[in-house]
Amino acid sequence: MADVDLNQDKWPHPTRHDPAAFFRDVSPSWAVDAAACAPQKRSHKRCNRGGRMTAYDDQNIFAKILRGEIPSIKLYEDDDTYCFMDIMPRADGHCLVIPKTPCRNVLDASHDQLASAMKTVQLMSHAVMKAFGAEGVTLQQFNEDAGGQEVYHLHFHILPRHAGVSLRPPGKMAEMDVLNAQAAQIRAALE
Ligand code: 5GP
């Protein structure tokens, strides 16, 4: 069975211009307060390993989530990383792992940022598989526009998979109560 193209760098992205729109009419009771996360320190660290100089933009959506400026559905956090539900899930349990410190993508990440993120990715991969009885997990990670990146704060997608079940097309917002129920399942699987 043909799967969806995993390198969809031009999918519709409703939150790109108005990330608050999705949450505007939703009761805040569903959202875990991300303000408890370590505050983002303003940084203009630059990526220079590939000869390209690109500044970190601290107004990206995930930086705002880390600062608690917009809500997110928290699944897990530790000193270095934060994990939350993707609002346009391509599979049940689709979640994202991000470092709490500024980092544009893999190209400017420190070894510590990558190591701590991957530790959380592994932890959450086990949790989502357990929560959804999945047979496998797909990890996705995009770097720069040409690499399909839409949000410029390093993040890893975790997608629980079942044999023969394709990923859903990107760009479709999930129902908030569905996301909340799935998040509760994942948090329970962590215990
Ligand atoms: P990427 O940069 O990996 O191409 O895509 C960004 C991902 O972030 C997408 O899967 C998208 O659904 C998700 N996303 C975009 N805006 C928000 C948001 O405001 N909250 C959450 N939880 N996820 C978001």
CATH code where residue 94 lies: 3.30.428.10
Question: How far is the C-alpha of 136 from the C-alpha of 159, rounded, in Å?
Answer: 9
DSSP label at residue 179: H
Question: How far is the C-alpha of 10 from the C-alpha of 49, rounded, in Å?
Answer: 26
Whether the CB-CB separation of 22 and 87 falls below 8 Å is answered with yes
pTM score, two decimals?
A: 0.81
Domain membership of residue 4 (yes or no) is no
- In the residue annotation, 94 being an active-site residue is answered as no
User: Is the per-residue pLDDT at 187 higher than 70?
Assistant: yes
Residue 177 identity: D
Domain membership of residue 5 (yes or no) is no
Q: Is any atom of ligand 1 closer than 6 Å to the C-beta of 150?
A: yes
Contacts of residue 51, Cβ cutoff 8 Å, sequence gap at least 6? none
And the tokens for 80? 């270095």
Question: How far is the C-alpha of 30 from the C-alpha of 184, rounded, in Å?
Answer: 11
Kindly report the protein residue whose alpha carbon is nearest to atom 13 of ligand 1. Answer: 86
3-state SS, one letter per residue, for 23-58: HCCCCHHHCECHHHCCCCCCCCCEECCCCCCEECCC
Whether the CB-CB separation of 158 and 174 falls below 8 Å is answered with no
Domain membership of residue 9 (yes or no) is no
Domain membership of residue 45 (yes or no) is no
Q: Is any atom of ligand 1 closer than 6 Å to the C-beta of 89?
A: no
Domain membership of residue 90 (yes or no) is yes
Q: Is the model more confident about 6 or about 149?
A: 149
pLDDT at 50: 54
Kindly indicate the confidence band of residue 46, based on its pLDDT and cuts at 50, 70 and 90: low
Structural domains of the chain, count: 1
Domain membership of residue 166 (yes or no) is yes
SS3 call for 181: helix
Domain membership of residue 27 (yes or no) is yes
Mean pLDDT of the region 17-24: 42
User: Is the per-residue pLDDT at 106 higher than 90?
Assistant: yes
Q: Considering the chain, what percentage of its residues have pLDDT values greater than 70?
A: 72
From the alpha carbon of 16, which atom of ligand 1 is closest? 16
Domain membership of residue 3 (yes or no) is no
Probe residue for ligand 1, chosen from 7, 65, 69, 87 as the CB with the greatest number of ligand atoms within 8 Å: 87
Instruction: For the chain, give the longest Cα–Cα distance.
Output: 46
pLDDT at 38: 38
Q: Domain residues for 76?
A: 19-39+50-190
Mean pLDDT of the region 146-162: 98
Mean pLDDT of the region 151-155: 98
List the one residue out of 172, 179, 131 whose CA is nearest residue 30: 179
